[in-house]
Structure 1
Amino acid sequence: MHIDDDGAVPELADLLADAAEGRGAMPSGALDYASMLATMAELDLDSADMEESDNEGDDDDESFGDEEDVRMQSFGAKRVIPEGDEGDDDDDDDGDDDDDNDGGGGGGDERWAAAEKWASETHASIAAAEREAAAPAHGRRAAAEDYVCAAQADCDLASSPHGCHCASRSPPAGLSAAQMPQFVLLTYDDSVNPSVMPLIVRTLEGHTSANGCSLRATFFISTEYTDMAHVHALWAAGHEIAIHTVTHKTGYDSTKERWTEEILGCKATLSKLGHIPEDDIVGMRAPFLQYSLDQLRVLQENGFLYDSSIREYGNQWTSLLSGGPAAKIYPYTMDYGVGQMCDWTHGNCQDWRLPGLWEVPMHTIDQMGDDPAADANVISVMDNSDVQQMMDNFDAHYNGNRAPFGIFLHATRMVYDQINDIINQMSAYPDVYFVTTAQLVEWMRNPVPKDQMASFFPTCDVAGAGAHRPPRRPR
């Protein structure tokens, strides 16, 4: 950990210990939904509408259920159960729906029972969604010719608030692949609470990037069932906190008003109760990866920097611009529309225009050689062959165009030993940087070659997405 004249950034484990003993800036203890709604009411947000689904009578919302797990990086249902909880082998999939490992006596609470019921009903739709996924979807784009972006030189002249960048397989600013740092995005979705924090801490501690800094991760947080002391501790340790809505119950058909309440309500709650500056909360991932034009418009109109909800397929799936694992597309702005497959959307996204809003694609893991795993399927139990599949894809990125590589996780579905192995292997490569999603976008806006990365990361002690520093611990 970097030390300067002001002292060292607190280690994550120390921050969590302080929170547990009441010494930190935040009180410990899970934020219950009633308290969150009271805060939202104080902020003049309409929480009543957020209690209801937009699709009344449709419990599973005809979604992928936990669609975020229908990508190769969501490593299956094998849970790591903290010591002392071996008797509970329930396989809940979402951090926001699972308090089985808390040890705080919340198992009988009606809130948790309702959350578990909702998760069970939601996951029941996965099989049906997988069958439907193979069929053409309204709005899906099948050819690269459907996406037309002006020459990058013209795009550079655009007046977008966060810049303009065409969707492309080429590195930015004329850099060659050999000049590129290899960025890795480590992200976690859903709630943060005592049942998932031990797994998160074990994953993040003890690893470094090429600059010698600790790993940086992005947490896309749903505020319902979230412990705000842990959120603050993660931010203070240098990780990015981003939006995943309040209730995790939005979908493609949600209204713009609903999206506004969910997005701004989540941001206000994270900022006020998590003690995080609002301008450090700059990005979002849509629940179930069910993005929409209304959702993206809310982000753009409220000054957000990026969205990261759109999957980028390869190999067996017809991709729009990507050419397999060695030639994925880089992040881009949506000045000229969406440069990816518009699957599962309503309307034709080639007509969407969202100047200055960045999209950070979620690359799926592609089938390599004779590996029987198919693109975008769930790895139900992660074994050595799955680790090798992941590393084969990483090698293709690293030896190809070096587009950013993503490890997209839910903590309660994470198999620690295998994830730790993957991170160790990736960290051993030269020029590999584990960065937050916001840091990646900032690099895209001001790219530098790998031999100048010291100017991009002058120190290791930056918290969150912006230039704010966490509270200093006395020496």
Structure 2
Amino acid sequence: MPKSESIFKVTSLLTHHVLRCIYTFSEPDQAFSQGWCDGQFDPNSAEPCDPGMCQLPDCFCSKTGNDIPGNLITSQIPQMITLTFDGPVNHENWDVFTKHLFTPERKNPNGCNIKATFFISHQYTNYRHVQKLWNDGHEIAVNSITHRGPAEWWSKNATVEDWFDEMVGQANIINRFAKVRMEDFRGLRVPYLSVGWNRQFLMMQEFGFVYDASIVAPAIDPPYWPYTLDYKIPHMCTGTNQYCPTRSYAGSWEMVINPLINGDTSCTTLQYCPNKLVDKDVYDILVNNFKRHYLKNRAPFGIHLDSNWLRNTEYLNAFKKFLTEVMKLPDVYFVTYKQVIEWIKQPTDLLQIKRFKPWHCKNNTFDDIEYACHKPKTCKLTSKVLQHDKYMITCHGCPQSYPWIRNEFGLD
């Protein structure tokens, strides 16, 4: 669970754990050009996977990165599909979520509604809608307050203090204005997938985030399973503006992104595939990559979307067709990242999966204030930083000013 901490503690952590390595070079740019403490140059880098020492439920790794947890046989395990959405939730995508994707008839084989993980950024978010998604059992995670650019700022320039302000700060905003409980925040995804080196993961471990969902692995067949960061990551760090962690972060999970293979090329997510796709192309990409998981090692199949991509009617219809087809299979489950981690910790075969408690339909009991309202407040707020008025929608009281970095509750 992310916890607010003194900025002085964060600064101390930065000095003790990180600067020792980077400032062996006189200039940061020089450090980047010479590896910037990557696995090859970092004298304190994590060791390669030791399966004998790395034991579930606290640690998971394999030498290739694509071994099945618990050494189960492929045909004995459920195929997990993870739908993830990055960015704001608001009137522009609400109908897509509620009227097209997460409708009552879409259920997993155990009878529970399908679920997704939403990585929420602050600007333009309707916090009433976030609260309703949480009430309905979807996972709410963090995608930063500012979503600032350029992309390389996150990987090269963001300090541990910046990571704290952006990610713990956004958890605080969601907690205050959507009432999502702090203990329900498990993970984060970095804007632009610009992984932030050891500084990001140091902040995560210190402040209670369980997983990151930003590292893009090379496209391989069979694909990678998620892993913990007790040991060195099992693949090259090849994504644009990605500086993967080099140290050991025991118990922290990486919900690795397996790229989509599209003919002779690959794309990180559907929105980065060629923009001249037609509906048949989208459907074929989804089906072919699903089979690469389903027929091989059944690593979780991630479909990662910016919800604006689904505003294209052709794409949306192709995506819905794919959902309808795969949901006919008796061993396919649409689950959250939190549920994936619970399964890996306790590998459960198909004969037992309907009795697997972390995937049960939960009739969560909420306090009255935790239920999403029918008539939220629309707050018109000033912002000294942004220098113009901003609007924010919440079921709860309007703050004095627009919440922002180091002013998450809008108190000044």
Matched, 1:268 2:169: no
- Say if 2:215 and 2:239, in contact at 8 Å, map to a contact too: no
Unaligned runs of 5+ in 2: 8-33, 374-412
Q: Distance in 2 between matches of 1:200 and 1:139?
A: 42
Corresponding position of 1:88: none
From 169, 177, 186, give the equivalent of 1:282. 186
What SS does structure 2 have at the residue aligned with 1:247? coil
Corresponding position of 2:301: 405
TM-score (normalizing by structure 2): 0.71
CA shift, 1:372, in A, is: 6.0
What SS does structure 2 have at the residue aligned with 1:226? coil
Please show how residues 54-93 of structure 1 align to structure 2 within 5 Å.
none
Corresponding position of 1:240: 139
Please show how residues 283-322 of structure 1 align to structure 2 within 5 Å.
283-292=187-196, 293-314=198-219
From 96, 99, 106, give the equivalent of 1:207. 106
Q: CA RMSD in A?
A: 3.1
Q: Distance in 2 between matches of 1:449 and 1:400?
A: 16
- Say if 2:79 and 2:333, in contact at 8 Å, map to a contact too: yes
Corresponding position of 1:29: none
CA shift, 1:351, in A, is: 3.1
CA shift, 1:348, in A, is: 7.3
Corresponding position of 1:221: 120
Corresponding position of 1:336: 231
The change in CA–CA distance for 1:294 and 1:424 in structure 2 (over 3 A counts) is same
- Say if 1:243 and 1:284, in contact at 8 Å, map to a contact too: yes
Q: Distance in 2 between matches of 1:147 and 1:347?
A: 18
Instruction: For 2:255, give the aligned amino acid.
Output: V
Instruction: For 1:259, give the aligned amino acid.
Output: W
Corresponding position of 2:129: 230
The change in CA–CA distance for 1:219 and 1:299 in structure 2 (over 3 A counts) is same
Instruction: For 2:191, give the aligned amino acid.
Output: P
Q: Deviations over 1:324-370 (max 9, x none)?
A: 1xx11111100113233223588974732111100011111113xxx
- Say if 2:279 and 2:317, in contact at 8 Å, map to a contact too: no
From 161, 172, 175, give the equivalent of 2:69. 172
Identity rate of aligned residues, in percent? 29
Corresponding position of 1:441: 341
- Say if 1:140 and 1:345, in contact at 8 Å, map to a contact too: no
From 402, 405, 423, give the equivalent of 2:323. 423
Q: Distance in 2 between matches of 1:383 and 1:138?
A: 42
CA shift, 1:152, in A, is: 2.3
Matched, 1:196 2:96: no
Q: Deviations over 1:369-425 (max 9, x none)?
A: xx4654445241342033112201111211111110011111111132111011111
Unaligned runs of 5+ in 1: 1-42, 47-135, 315-322
What SS does structure 2 have at the residue aligned with 1:198? helix
Instruction: For 1:439, give the aligned amino acid.
Output: Q
Higher RCO (Cα < 8 Å, 6 or more apart): 1
- Say if 2:187 and 2:211, in contact at 8 Å, map to a contact too: yes
The change in CA–CA distance for 1:350 and 1:308 in structure 2 (over 3 A counts) is closer
Q: Distance in 1 between matches of 2:170 and 2:53?
A: 36
Deviates more, 1:212-221 or 1:384-393: 384-393
- Say if 1:311 and 1:363, in contact at 8 Å, map to a contact too: yes
Q: Distance in 1 between matches of 2:199 and 2:353?
A: 37
Instruction: For 1:210, give the aligned amino acid.
Output: P
Instruction: For 2:192, give the aligned amino acid.
Output: F
The change in CA–CA distance for 1:148 and 1:401 in structure 2 (over 3 A counts) is farther
The change in CA–CA distance for 1:195 and 1:281 in structure 2 (over 3 A counts) is same
- Say if 1:139 and 1:342, in contact at 8 Å, map to a contact too: no
Instruction: For 2:361, give the aligned amino acid.
Output: C
Q: Deviations over 1:111-135 (max 9, x none)?
A: xxxxxxxxxxxxxxxxxxxxxxxxx
Q: Distance in 2 between matches of 1:222 and 1:471?
A: 21
CA shift, 1:448, in A, is: 0.9
Matched, 1:152 2:48: no
Matched, 1:391 2:287: yes
- Say if 2:131 and 2:371, in contact at 8 Å, map to a contact too: no
Instruction: For 1:334, give the aligned amino acid.
Output: L
Corresponding position of 1:107: none
Q: Distance in 1 between matches of 2:182 and 2:295?
A: 38
CA shift, 1:141, in A, is: 7.6
Q: Distance in 2 between matches of 1:155 and 1:366?
A: 31
TM-score (normalizing by structure 1): 0.62
- Say if 1:330 and 1:403, in contact at 8 Å, map to a contact too: yes
Q: Distance in 1 between matches of 2:113 and 2:284?
A: 24
Deviates more, 1:377-386 or 1:238-247: 377-386
